[in-house]
Amino acid sequence: MDSCNQTENISNFREKLYQLLALEFNCAFCDFTKKENVLTVSQIREGRRIYSAEKYFFHMVTTGGNAVLTADEKLHPFLRGFMADRPGHWLFELPNLKPLEKELNNYGYTLTGTYHMFLPCETTKQLNINYATKWFYDDEIKQFYGDERFPNAICKEYTPVRPDKIVICAYDGDKIIGMAGCSEDAPGWMQIGIDVMPGYRSRGIGTYLVTTLKNKISELGKLPFYGTSVSNYHSWNIALNSGFRPAWVEIGAEKF
């Protein structure tokens, strides 16, 4: 890996993002500001987000310019041709993903969905809703595991490598009508998820809960982030209305 000067004129949040992605993609901080695409050998490095105990067979990310790819070395001959002379963000388009999918199939892998990720901007909104709210922390969150109403706000079960840390719920009387939660996916990196119950959507509850949780995370000196799929525009609108802005896109591979 090349060393690089980390004093480039980028926002503090983006600087932290490059530092995190450099760990996950086994590259240098400045690789995300290059014009050309970058390919590295996949490795497990301390401080990354942990979604699997195994190293990436293939993973690709863009922050809007070039792409950085990390993969098992057996994929490198194909990937060098795949990424050559193409803008990085174009590699995520379906016509380019089709040959990549075919190559991955040869090794028993298939592409995941694309993950569209958001970081907070400088604006902090002060919002209100006409419902009571309550905070839950750490072990207090365990009471909600297994509840099918909250597939996005919290993990399915307690996950030590990326534990749920904070939850805020909105109530109509004694009934939970919305929940936003965050898991610490990497040291200091808190991913926010949101669930609002049918019948209570489009009332600003999701935006209020996500904004309030985002502000709480920032007050604690942690970094909130948010992710959704490309077609989930309800979730996109919550992110944008809560002061998040698109920051990076990634795609990976998983076994059949």
Percent of the chain past pLDDT 90, that is, above it, reads: 90
Q: What pLDDT shows up at residue 124?
A: 62
Q: Is the pLDDT confidence value at 3 over 90?
A: no
Please check whether residue 61 is in contact with residue 227, taking contact to mean a CB–CB distance below 8 angstroms: no
Banded model confidence at residue 123, pLDDT cuts 50, 70, 90? low
Please check whether residue 252 is in contact with residue 112, taking contact to mean a CB–CB distance below 8 angstroms: yes
Q: How far apart are CA 227 and CA 239, in angstroms?
A: 8
Banded model confidence at residue 20, pLDDT cuts 50, 70, 90? very high
Count Cα atoms within 13 angstroms, Cβ side, for 83.
Answer: 25
Q: What pLDDT shows up at residue 127?
A: 79
Query: What CATH topology corresponds to 120-244?
Result: Aminopeptidase (3.40.630)
Of 89, 91, 92, 93, the C-alpha closest to 81 is 91
Mean pLDDT for 55-79 is 97
Lowest-pLDDT range of 77-81, 227-231, 249-253: 227-231
Banded model confidence at residue 216, pLDDT cuts 50, 70, 90? very high
Read off the pLDDT of residues 223-250 as tens digits, 9 standing for 90 and up. 999 999 989 999 999 999 999 999 999 9
Q: Is the pLDDT confidence value at 8 over 70?
A: no
Banded model confidence at residue 121, pLDDT cuts 50, 70, 90? confident
Q: How far apart are CA 21 and CA 70, in angstroms?
A: 11
Read off the pLDDT of residues 130-167 as tens digits, 9 standing for 90 and up. 999 999 999 999 999 999 999 999 999 999 999 999 99
What 8-state DSSP symbol labels residue 55?
Answer: P
Banded model confidence at residue 17, pLDDT cuts 50, 70, 90? very high
Q: How far apart are CA 194 and CA 208, in angstroms?
A: 10
Domain boundary assignment for the chain: 12-111, 120-244
